[in-house]
Structure 1
Amino acid sequence: MTTPRPASSRRSRTRANGDGTVYQRKDSRWEAAGYVLAPDNTRKRIHVYGTTRKEALAKLTEKIANSNRGLPVPSAQGSLAAYLTYWLENVAVHQLRENTHTRYTAVARHYLIPGLGRKKLAKLTAKDVRTWLNQLRTTCQCCTRGIDTGRDEPRCCAVGTCCSKRLSPLTLAYVHSVLKSALEHAVREEEIPRNVARNVRTGTPRPRRFEPLTADEARQILTAARGHRLHALFELALHTGLRKGELLGLRWEDLDLDRGTAAVRRTLQRTNTGGLTTLPTKTRASERRIALPARCLQSLKHHREQQQRKREAAGATWQYNGYVFTTPQGRPIDPTNLTRTFTTLLRKAGLRRIRFHDLRHSTATLLLEQGVELVVIKELLGHAHIGVTATVYAHVRLRLQRNAIDLLGHALRNPAETTSPLDDGGGPPLCAAPVR
């Protein structure tokens, strides 16, 4: 005869009303079920699963706790538009930077919701995503989004002549990545069994082509910036490859001019809600300490003396914030205003127009041309992985290619051959990257 369980054991597994139920299935998994708040302010019963009773119970407890705090639990039977709204307002807003969240919201509003928003989350297939992406790739955005009708002078569909403005491969890949991120969270919340967007391949977009500055062009910029109140900033940008926000976020306390080092701890950005705001660096690897060359140390010391004189002359009107680079009144510099100043500087130097961020690309390229190890460049630029450095910055100029080919030809040459007129053997041996 089976011995009944003690009453105390049965009572320990009894759950109070509203806490849901937990039981073991025939397939040995554990299932927990309970009622939570739905997006339409109704109560719905949900089911979660785990390999152990404790795991299933923990998942259910977390969902009930979120529901009690007023966070609705999305339904897989609801539309993708409803889930994207829930994800952006309750999940992504706490995990992304404000500017990134703003871009994600714009992608959802302009592309995802109009194209796939009516689809049921549970019934979305890889074919749906692929068909929509193909349509997005081949459709004029002026016509689809009604951009032309809102212009003061229509020049596309409104006048019967389509301009065929289509999304670039990079934008298309970004839109796809936002959808993947949203569906990945739906998988983690066990709303859907798999992320169908991961089964769709958009291809790897080619990185933006750009022509970095040559050493002569970089010298022209520094010559044009001589005497400018931000001369030290442009010199620091070209010598260290710091990002725009990292340069503007530097404080005097981050610089050790005696030891010749700078600590990169923050970035200055403009956000919609906070205005000019200091934020953590882009990644953990971006928080770093770098060495400063002698020229930058001299210009920074001169810049500090000038700033001190202006501060004394301004008196109480000076707004001290501790930043290295400021406006004439002591306030932090808006990144957009720095871009305008840089464009004016390029025009003064008689150079082609480039982005401020291309100074960073140019620094890496010039370092590669001088034979600097890739791992050193990676540490200087603050990349998390050396693969990022190798992929983005490993474009080698024709001169480096020619030197490398000549070096190989020199190694493969038959010693019995006579020296050519171009190489009488009296010069130094060829090297792939001469250091100047």
Structure 2
Amino acid sequence: MARVEDLWVRKDKTRTPVYGKGMRYRAEWTPLGQNKQRKSFATKAAAMAFLAEQVSGMNRGTYVASRQKVLFADYADKWRRNQLQHRPSSKEQVEGKLRLYIIPTLGGRALDSITRADIQEAVGDWCDSLAPSSVKVTYGYASAIFKAAVLDGIIAKSPCIGIKLPPVEDAPVVPLRTEVVQLLAEKIYKPFRPMVVFCAATGLRSSELRGLTWDRVDLDTSMITIDRQLISVNSTDPVWGPLKTPSSRRNIHIGMHSLQVLKTLREQPAGPGGLVFHADGLVIIRKSASQVWRSARERVPGLGGVGTGWHQLRHYHASQLIAGGMSPVAVAHRLGHKDATETLRTYAHLWPDDDTKAAAITDGGVTMDLEAIAHELPTGGQVA
């Protein structure tokens, strides 16, 4: 941190018009680890006040050196390219939110000119075209960009403070009915039919399902190993990445019908990289799977409700496990959840109500002859 002794104000003897007419005093200071900074003022009081502000900023750790204005759009693009931890699906989502919503609203502004009120107004604009949950995601990306700008020393503080977001109501999962899933398996584009049947029976995530390869299938023991997921963005070259969470790594036992589905597929040519499920020799990327599902929605009634896409088959699988009496721990392991808490947070409403179960357990333990006592009840007068 620069010492106060390093900061001083002197009368500008050159009187050059570089800093504007009437600028007679120039403040000079040398921040720690940086070159000497200069700024001219018309009065000595203004120079001293500015200098005091710089000292205060350095003492608080909020000092930002004077530099050329940086547009939000330029910095946001740099930030997006530096998010090396993002998987292809996340990169696609970030790019879409920036291009469609964040940049049109804030992109033409300098980073240091955007205020908290501007961010709140932007959130209001996003609410006109996005669901509350999507507004929350979009705001999260914008907030991350400003946080990075603070760390890079471009702005002193983020304007994303105390922003009011629309409430997000977590609607309970409504699982598909078995007859709807059966109809889906019959009506969906033919190469995807085995995927529907297998996903309903195993509860795999879409990326796990599409990325399953024959070297992860043991037909002798009726087991499949889930230790990676498909992250390809093109349909010719399969690319795998790590699972969503470490707890998603698991071995899943499959039943007789699912085993027969695999044996039937085994007799046909494998997909690229040994993929079990493919579309005429092409990798089934996320975009293609979503398009096929949307097409099926138009032909299969009952696919609406809470949850869309292939994840609805995962919800269906979970509902069947719960209806069959499996514990939250067992369901969590089958689905690859972190723990039973995550499972209960999503599916607690599908388990039998404890109060109903309590009534069933205790009711009728002690009985009475209702017909006999009905004849013995007095019809009037005083009870003896």
Decide: shared fold, TM above 0.5: yes
Q: What is the Cα deviation at residue 219 of structure 1?
A: 5.2
Structure 1 residues 194 and 366, CA, compared in 2 at 3 Å: closer, same or farther? farther
Q: What is the Cα deviation at residue 189 of structure 1?
A: 2.8
Q: Give the conservation status (yes or no) of the 8 Å contact 2:224–2:254.
A: no
Paired AA for residue 346 in structure 2: V
Structure 1 residues 78 and 207, CA, compared in 2 at 3 Å: closer, same or farther? same
Q: Give the conservation status (yes or no) of the 8 Å contact 1:281–1:287.
A: no
Aligned pair count reads 316
Identity %: 21
Q: Give the conservation status (yes or no) of the 8 Å contact 2:272–2:283.
A: no
> Which consecutive residues of structure 2, in runs of 5 or more, have no partner in the other structure?
5-30, 36-54, 372-384
Counterparts of 2:149 and 2:291 in 1: how far apart (Å)?
42
Deviations 1:312-356 (A, max 9, x none): xxxxxx87531112334x3333445545666777788x6523532
In the TM superposition, 1:12-411 aligns within 5 A as 25=3, 32-34=32-34, 77-89=69-81, 91-92=82-83, 94-137=84-127, 139=128, 166-207=129-170, 211-218=174-181, 224=186, 232-269=194-231, 271=233, 277-285=238-246, 287-295=248-256, 296-305=258-267, 307=268, 311=269, 321-328=273-280, 330-338=281-289, 351-353=301-303, 355-384=309-338, 386-396=340-350, 400-401=352-353, 404-410=354-360
Of 285-294 and 232-241, deviating more is: 285-294
Structure 1 residues 99 and 344, CA, compared in 2 at 3 Å: closer, same or farther? closer
Q: What is the Cα deviation at residue 203 of structure 1?
A: 4.5
Deviations 1:283-335 (A, max 9, x none): 23365122222222232123213x1xxx4xxxxxx87531112334x333344
Paired AA for residue 202 in structure 2: T
Q: What is the Cα deviation at residue 359 of structure 1?
A: 0.4
Paired AA for residue 95 in structure 2: T
Q: What is the Cα deviation at residue 372 of structure 1?
A: 2.0
Counterparts of 1:110 and 1:25 in 2: how far apart (Å)?
47
Counterparts of 1:81 and 1:171 in 2: how far apart (Å)?
20
Q: What is the Cα deviation at residue 172 of structure 1?
A: 1.2
Q: Give the conservation status (yes or no) of the 8 Å contact 1:79–1:120.
A: yes
Q: What is the Cα deviation at residue 405 of structure 1?
A: 3.6
Structure 1 residues 187 and 378, CA, compared in 2 at 3 Å: closer, same or farther? farther
> Which consecutive residues of structure 1, in runs of 5 or more, have no partner in the other structure?
1-22, 36-46, 57-72, 140-165, 312-317, 422-436
TM-score scaled to structure 1, two decimals?
0.59
Structure 1 residues 198 and 265, CA, compared in 2 at 3 Å: closer, same or farther? farther
Q: Give the conservation status (yes or no) of the 8 Å contact 1:126–1:196.
A: yes
Paired AA for residue 325 in structure 1: F
1:95 alignment partner, SS class: coil
Q: What is the Cα deviation at residue 250 of structure 1?
A: 1.0
Counterparts of 1:261 and 1:319 in 2: how far apart (Å)?
20
**Structure 1 runs (4+) greater than 6 angstroms displaced:** 47-51, 343-348
